[in-house]
Amino acid sequence: MNILLPHHWLLEHLETDAQPPQIAELLSLSGPSVERVQERDGEAVYDIEVTTNRVDAMSVRGLAREAAVILRHADLPARLKALELDRPPSPAKSRQLPLPDIVNNPELSKRIMAVVLTNVKHTATPDWMARRLLQVDQNVHHAAIDITNYVTHELGHPCHAFDYDKIVKLGGQIIVTEAEAGESFTTLDGETYQTVGGEVVFKNAAGEIIDLPAIKGTANSSVDDSTTQILLWIESLDPHKVRFASMTHAIRTVAAQLNEKNVDPHLGEAVMLRGIEMYRRLCGAKVASQLYDDFPHPHQPTEISVFLSQLTTYLGVELPSRKVAHILEQLGCQVVVRPGAKGPERMERAVSSDGTAGGAVGGTADSTSPTDPDTLLTVTPPSFRPDLTIPADLIEEVARIYGYHRLPGRLMATALPTDKPSGDDFVLEDQLKNWLAALGWQEVYTYSMVSRQLAAESGWPFEEHLELVNPLTEDRSYLRQSLVPSLREALDANPNRLKLGVFEQAYTYHPRQGQLPEQVLHLTLARRGDHRQLRGLLEAMVDKFFLPELKLETVEAGRGAYRQLAEISTRARAGQTDRSNQPSPDERLGTLGITDDGTVILDLLVTQLAAVKRGHPQYQPITANPPLIEDMTFSIPASRAIGPVLDSIKTVSPLIERVELTSQYRRNFTFRITYQDPDGSLSAEQVAPLRQAIAERMAADHHAELVGQL
């Protein structure tokens, strides 16, 4: 997630003389990456990428806290300014307005805070606030609305303003619950949605949805131009529920993007007090109720233990325990250092925030080396750092603040590991890809999600394609059932590379009633040109992976955009059995076809291929009798496919060992025929009847005319 941060807004929370280029460089080296520094309205504005796990840094205050630590370790003066917040006095009971009847569900909401503000004036947003909101790409309305957006960007926890009078008219209840399927609600921008069930919503006693919390307000409770009383509200919902509702309805607000990342509920008090302060200062508002705070299960700190030896192993450099503790404490952690003294003399020593050692507990002064590998650091992360859960997280924090660029750079003493996943399927996948790449084919990776057009071109019924509920883009809405349209699209994107051949090894997805989709692994190749190149590659694959003899049977080319299509299958050779000692059945391996635009496609089922491949060739005894080889040329009509012609020649006699197509000139095809008799040598006189039978079979079955004389 990217955060825009104006420099002078940063300086309200960070005391430093560092200039924007220095801050950008050092932040990028040790913290959030500053992608660019823009000039907006005469001021430097940082465009900062913050990783998803660092929701604590997705605000002005959070980035200032990061910058203060990073700049200090780069020997630049920097200090995080204190956040000065005043708790307003509660009004006299006689002048208090009643809070709504709030019914919380602790399983859905970790914390709820609320306060009623009255006498809210619709003043224009001050120039300084409007300028900052525009600099961070926020719309400007009026102060009563813009305050919540401003405070959210500044402190990092979303807050919301309800129209208090609308809540009262709706019954005066706010019930935290889950929606049923089919309920309707309209957001404050006028868009109407139907719930799918399971979204966290706020309802009144009548069951009417009055808010889509943590994401977007609804029109029936939102602030408008007539609002004079506001219910300032903060909730901390289950982040998984927030993301589910946000993605289901494609409502990707800033509030949703923060709340789905487990924003710290302990921030709620600071955000609430800042919001009250700004409503009082900018809108003349008065606090009209007690401050409501329902926080049933505050954060319970979890200790993480890490040995100094672990840091040395990971980082390749020895750091004193005092320095490590100092870094972690500056990041908000509590640290206890337990030196590696053995026996009952072991002591505990707390490290203060300035990095100096505290008094010894239960022992004498520490004489242990500051880099003793047995030193144990027990670290308690702050509530705003939920990403720190294991020792490696702490080591990474130390590394980035110490400086990745300061870690020793040393090449490995051995070659890079080349371990591949175990299992026959993975081995075959790897072998296929390397073999095809060596033959000049280009591997491509295409999307598993395809457009409506590509789904319709797949050859599978369009209505059977699984459609994504929340696609990233409209042209990637369906899970594909064929790789062919995607590869044709890749070829279309390279029109000048006429000899380009591409392949992909990926899954297709087919629906199953009441179950997850069936995933079928395909190896699909595509190129424009002569289909015989792919037929030759298929035969080479038989030799390379010791496959049984393949059969190609022409089928009706009504599937997808094929004008010719053949099914590829194999039957085990005589005597071969499967693992259950039963004769192996025909195995369908895939298809070979030509599309309407001349693209030749070879589509293989990798799982089936793995089932019939052998790890080594099958021994064939060498016959003592020499073969007799001759060529025959036939003129074959254009309507005839060559595959059936090859089969016809081969089935004329058992003495025909092999038939190959060697050349073609217009409609004249030359076949090389190998005759061999295992029981004796063949003479020309013995082959003559076979030659005659071949010519007759070709004429009868394929209307083919022999070129030349027998």
What's residue 364's pLDDT? 32
Buried b (16+ CB within 10 A) or exposed e, 49-69: ebeeebbbbbbbbbbbbbbbb
What's residue 304's pLDDT? 96
Segment 459-477 mean pLDDT:
87
Segment 91-106 mean pLDDT:
93
| Beta carbons within 8 Å of 195's beta carbon, 6+ residues apart | 179, 180, 181, 182, 183, 184, 185, 201, 209
CA–CA–CA angle 465, 470, 472 (5° rounding): 95
Phi and psi torsions of 265, nearest 5°:
-65, -20
From CA 239, how far away is CA 175, in angstroms rounded?
Answer: 18
Q: What confidence tens digit (pLDDT) does each residue in 645-697 have?
A: 988 999 999 999 989 889 989 899 999 999 999 888 988 889 999 999 999 99
Q: Which residue, among 522, 532, 501, has the nearest Cα to 439 in the 3D structure? A: 501
What's residue 640's pLDDT? 84
User: In residues, how long is the chain?
Assistant: 710
Q: Which residue, among 237, 383, 376, 373, has the nearest Cα to 302 in the 3D structure? A: 383
Give the lowest-confidence range in 14-18, 143-147, 443-447, 622-626: 622-626
Q: What confidence tens digit (pLDDT) does each residue in 543-587 have?
A: 898 888 888 887 765 566 677 788 888 864 434 444 444 434 457
Q: Residue 313 pairs with which residues in a beta bridge?
A: none
* H or E element in which residue 456 lies: helix 452-456
| Beta carbons within 8 Å of 550's beta carbon, 6+ residues apart | 538, 539, 542, 568, 569, 570, 589
Q: If DSSP codes are grouped into helix, strand and coil, which group holds residue 254?
A: helix
Q: Residue 661 pairs with which residues in a beta bridge?
A: 671
Residue 564 burial (10 A CB sphere; 0-12, 13-18, 19+)? middle
According to DSSP, the β-strands at 442-443 and 501-512 are: parallel
Domain edges within the chain: 2-80, 93-294, 304-406, 424-575+583-612, 628-706
| DSSP annotation string for 83-110 | ----PPPPPPGGGPPPPPEEE--TTTEE
Q: What confidence tens digit (pLDDT) does each residue in 433-455 have?
A: 999 999 999 999 999 999 999 99
Tokens for 297? 């299960």
Q: Residues 325, 335: contact at Cβ < 8 Å?
A: yes
Packing angle of the helix pair 143-155, 268-283 (nearest 10 deg):
150
From CA 77, how far away is CA 68, in angstroms rounded?
Answer: 8
Q: Residues 144, 227: contact at Cβ < 8 Å?
A: yes
State the chain's mean pLDDT as an integer.
Answer: 89
Q: Residues 625, 680: contact at Cβ < 8 Å?
A: yes
Q: What confidence tens digit (pLDDT) does each residue in 226-284 have?
A: 999 999 999 999 999 999 999 999 999 999 999 999 999 999 999 999 999 999 999 99
Q: Which residue, among 347, 457, 323, has the nearest Cα to 402 in the 3D structure? A: 323
* Residue 354, pLDDT above cutoff 50: no
Evaluate whether the domain defined by 93-294 bears CATH number 3.50.40.10. Answer: yes
Give the lowest-confidence range in 27-41, 74-88, 129-143, 568-582: 568-582
- The correct CATH number of 304-406 out of 3.30.1330.10, 3.40.50.150, 3.30.56.10, 3.40.50.970 is 3.30.56.10
- Side chain identity at 537, as an amino acid letter? L
| DSSP annotation string for 52-85 | TT-GGGSSHHHHHHHHHHHHHHTT--EEEPP---
Evaluate whether the domain defined by 628-706 bears CATH number 3.40.50.300. Answer: no
How many CA atoms lie within 13 Å of 54's alpha carbon, on the beta-carbon side? 20
Q: Which residue, among 382, 388, 373, 386, has the nearest Cα to 314 in the 3D structure? A: 373
From CA 646, how far away is CA 671, in angstroms rounded?
Answer: 8
From CA 185, how far away is CA 199, in angstroms rounded?
Answer: 12
Phi and psi torsions of 286, nearest 5°:
-125, 140
From CA 100, how far away is CA 164, in angstroms rounded?
Answer: 9
Tokens for 508? 């297709």
From CA 91, how far away is CA 99, in angstroms rounded?
Answer: 13
SS3 letters across 481-543: CCCHHHHHHHHHCCCCCCCCEEEEEEEEEEEECCEEEEEEEEEEEEEECCHHHHHHHHHHHHH
Count the neighbouring beta carbons within 10 Å of the beta carbon of residue 150.
Answer: 24
* H or E element in which residue 4 lies: strand 2-6
**Which value, in Å, is the radius of gyration of the alpha carbons in the chain?**
37
Residue 117 burial (10 A CB sphere; 0-12, 13-18, 19+)? buried
What's residue 579's pLDDT? 40
- Side chain identity at 660, as an amino acid letter? E
> What is the topology classification, in CATH, of domain 2-80?
Phenylalanyl-tRNA Synthetase; Chain B, domain 1 (3.30.56)
* Residue 351, pLDDT above cutoff 60: no
* Residue 74, pLDDT above cutoff 60: yes
* Residue 20, pLDDT above cutoff 70: yes
* H or E element in which residue 237 lies: strand 230-237
What's residue 310's pLDDT? 93
From CA 268, how far away is CA 498, in angstroms rounded?
Answer: 62
Residue 367 burial (10 A CB sphere; 0-12, 13-18, 19+)? exposed
* H or E element in which residue 294 lies: strand 292-294
Tokens for 283? 């809108």
194 vs 404: which has the higher pLDDT = 194
Q: Do domains 2-80 and 304-406 have the same CATH topology?
A: yes
Phi-psi region at 104: left, alpha or beta (left = phi > 0; alpha = psi -120 to 50): beta
Phi and psi torsions of 139, nearest 5°:
-75, 150
pLDDT class of 535 with cuts at 50, 70, 90: confident
From CA 181, how far away is CA 166, in angstroms rounded?
Answer: 25
411 vs 543: which has the higher pLDDT = 543
Phi and psi torsions of 523, nearest 5°:
-115, 110
User: Which CATH architecture describes the domain 424-575+583-612?
Assistant: 2-Layer Sandwich (3.30)
* Residue 353, pLDDT above cutoff 70: no
What's residue 360's pLDDT? 33
% of the chain with per-residue pLDDT over 90: 67
Tokens for 229? 């009383």
Q: Which residue, among 310, 503, 302, 513, has the nearest Cα to 398 in the 3D structure? A: 310
From CA 542, how far away is CA 368, in angstroms rounded?
Answer: 69
* H or E element in which residue 376 lies: strand 376-380
Q: Residues 114, 234: contact at Cβ < 8 Å?
A: yes
Tokens 């020997």 sit on residue: 75
Q: If DSSP codes are grouped into helix, strand and coil, which group holds residue 209?
A: strand
pLDDT class of 422 with cuts at 50, 70, 90: low
439 vs 345: which has the higher pLDDT = 439
